[in-house]
Structure 1
Amino acid sequence: MTTPDPAGHGRYAYSALPDRPVYDWPEGKRLAVYVALNLETFDFSSGLGAELAPGGPQPDVLNYAWRDWGNRVGAWRVRDMLDGLGVPASILVNSRLYRDCPGLIEAFRTRGDEIVGHGRTNAERQGTLSEAEERALIAEATGILTREEGRAPAGWLGPWISQSRTTPDLLAEVGYRYLLDWCHDDQPTWFATRGGGRILALPYPQELNDIPAIVARKDTGRQFAEAIVDGFDEMLEQSAQAPLVMGIALHPYIVGQPHRLRPLRQALAHIAARREAVWITTAGAIAEHAAARMPA
């Protein structure tokens, strides 16, 4: 782990994409595509939460109910869409969902989807906590997922893409093999951790992510779907030169809405139709394959 200047992080050195070793994904493919479906729970009358419209005083019923619709209705519609297309997913799970929405995570488990750690709830950020408090949060969420799924999750995404200076260290120290959060590259990157360790950072999208696109930029569902198609077509061409990772980040309270689900289905069908040329898989499978082929 390099010693950063006050403005740096010390996790990885600069590396230009054209200068890196070239390797393949399975079957000689060069573009790996994964869908990250965020399943999240929120606190009523307190805490953080995405907003459909500017929230009023707590309890903010409008926005809370909109988000809750995603777990009650939208997630099930997204599941059916993925089933119809034969597309796997990495399910980013708030651990309190097992309590708040019984049967929801189990429905994706039966599909064989990957279950990824995503904190306790999206009503909080972990990056603002002390190291002891953050360690306890990671331990609590990991313990619940391990108990419910019968094995520990390999990957982690912080609620609200929130990391402290020590988050990669804490994750590596309890056995996580990869983290999401960072959108700094189109390939996996080794992060140095304290004590001479390391953890793999897998690219997580902030452009092809429905919260920045639809909630922040106010794109329509059709515009978001068009961006997915354009991004896929361009990355497929670019992957002739180097192995690339394309992630698509979804939240069911946003894209589960019927007027957004229809164009999303069309965009994912466009990708699924090229499955002979691309590796449609999970974040964990990408991380495992890359770790075996990437120099330290």
Structure 2
Amino acid sequence: MRHHDRYDYHPLPERADYSWPDGRRLAVYVALNLEHFAFGEGLGAELAPGGPQPDVLNYAWRDYGSRVGAWRLLRIFDELELPCSVLLNTAMYDHAPQLVDAFRRRGDEMVAHGRTNSERQGVLPEAQERALIEACAATMARHEGRGPEGWLGPWISQSERTPDLLAEAGFRYLLDWCHDDQPIWFRTRGGGRILSVPYPQELNDIPQIVGRKQEGDAFADMIVDTFDELLEESQERPLVMGLALHAYLVGWPHRARHLRRALTHIRQRADGRVWITGAGAIARHAAALPPGVVPGS
């Protein structure tokens, strides 16, 4: 059978044990997608089945996230003193620069998330995909004073060579694969490697709220249940819990209230076993562990 050849099978119970900083066992990070969409063309999540372009209903619903919803989430993050990994379309630097500035002032990590979520990178020829990745990295370096360490493709879109291109462009980790609860090293061409940091598709508001038609209360319960279960499991091994959010979904008032409840639960139960951090910090800690500890190393 055909295989991707990026990583081998490593059963979770057979892996080496390690801890996060200060002996902590469960690393928790919140990933907020700040995305921009083209008007009248391209891809985008839908509130209702779209009609002929321009699809004003769905465009405006998504635009609410940048104009209002993300600011509501920012207030919740500030209230609970929660760091955030910002998954950033570079188009946001032009579309909503004040919003990007607000998260930068908090010291939040900026993770590259392509140009716009109106497009997929995985369908591009190699030269065009490389140019896209390099252009996004250069744009972020210009605005942030340093290049991004991590990448999440718009719509989790990868070609067969995406990990190679990311490693060659200097990225240290990717978030596209939801295949594990621990970081895993990927092989890349030429003997290189890049770290895969867990990013959730189950604990992600698009698959749950848009795809499975769950509402904010149910999504909040999933967050609480996931945290409680992983906290118990982390007594045996170190684990990562990621939470993927989109401001045009959980930034609406009726969902934000439930999100606050779930995040408050995490903050209140975050004892010496829990490391509330960012995706980049998780990647740096895992990459610094001795060879053989992280699968694939």
- Using structure 2 for the length normalisation, give the TM-score: 0.97
Answering whether residue 232 of structure 2 is matched by residue 220 of structure 1, we say no
Measure how far apart 1:274 and its partner are: 2.0
Deviations 1:208-247 (A, max 9, x none): 0000000000001000000000000000001111100000
CA distance in 1 between partners of 2:288 and 2:15 (Å): 15
CA deviation string 1:177-231 (max 9, x = no partner):
0000100000000000000000000010000000000000000100000000000
> Among residues 60, 63, 88, which one is paired with 2:83 in the alignment?
88
Aligned to 2:282: 286
Structure 2: runs of 5 or more not aligned: none
Deviation digits for residues 74-108 of structure 1, max 9, x if unmatched? 00000110000010000000001101112111110
What SS is found at the alignment partner of 1:249? Answer: strand
1:77 to 46, 49, 72: 72
Structure 1 match to 2:206 = 211
Distance (whole Å) between structure 2 residues aligned to residue 107 and residue 141 of structure 1: 20
Structure 1 ranges of 4+ moved more than 6 A:
none
Structure 1 distance, partners of 2:117, 2:262, is: 27
Give the superposed CA RMSD. 0.7
* Pairs within 5 Å for 1:60-209: 60-209=55-204
| Equivalent residue number for residue 6 of structure 2 | 11
Letter in 2 for 1:285: A
CA distance in 2, matches of 1:152, 1:190: 21
Q: Which runs of 5+ in 1 are unaligned?
A: none
* Structure 1 residue 130 displacement after superposition: 0.4
- Residue 40 of structure 1: aligned partner: 35
Distance 2:11 2:128 in 1: 37
- The one-letter amino acid of 1:188's match is P
| Matches for 1:221-240 after TM superposition, within 5 Å | 221-240=216-235
Deviation at 1:275, TM superposition (A): 2.2
Aligned with 2:241 (options 216, 241, 246)? 246
Residue in 1 that maps onto 2:20? 25
Secondary structure of 2:54's counterpart equals coil
Structure-2 separation of matches of 1:141 and 1:95: 6
Instruction: Tell me whether 1:273 sits opposite 2:281 in the alignment.
Output: no
Q: CA deviation at 1:261?
A: 0.2
- 1:51 match: 46
Q: Secondary structure at the match of 1:288?
A: helix
The one-letter amino acid of 2:280's match is G
- SS of 1:115 mapped into structure 2: strand
Q: Number of residues paired by the alignment?
A: 291
Q: Is the partner of 2:110 in helix, strand or coil?
A: strand
Q: Tell me, in whole angstroms, the C-alpha distance in 2 between the residues paired with 1:102 and 1:146.
A: 15
TM-score, length-normalised on structure 1?
0.97
Structure 2 letter corresponding to 1:199: I
Partners in 2 of 1:270 and 1:53 — Cα distance?
32
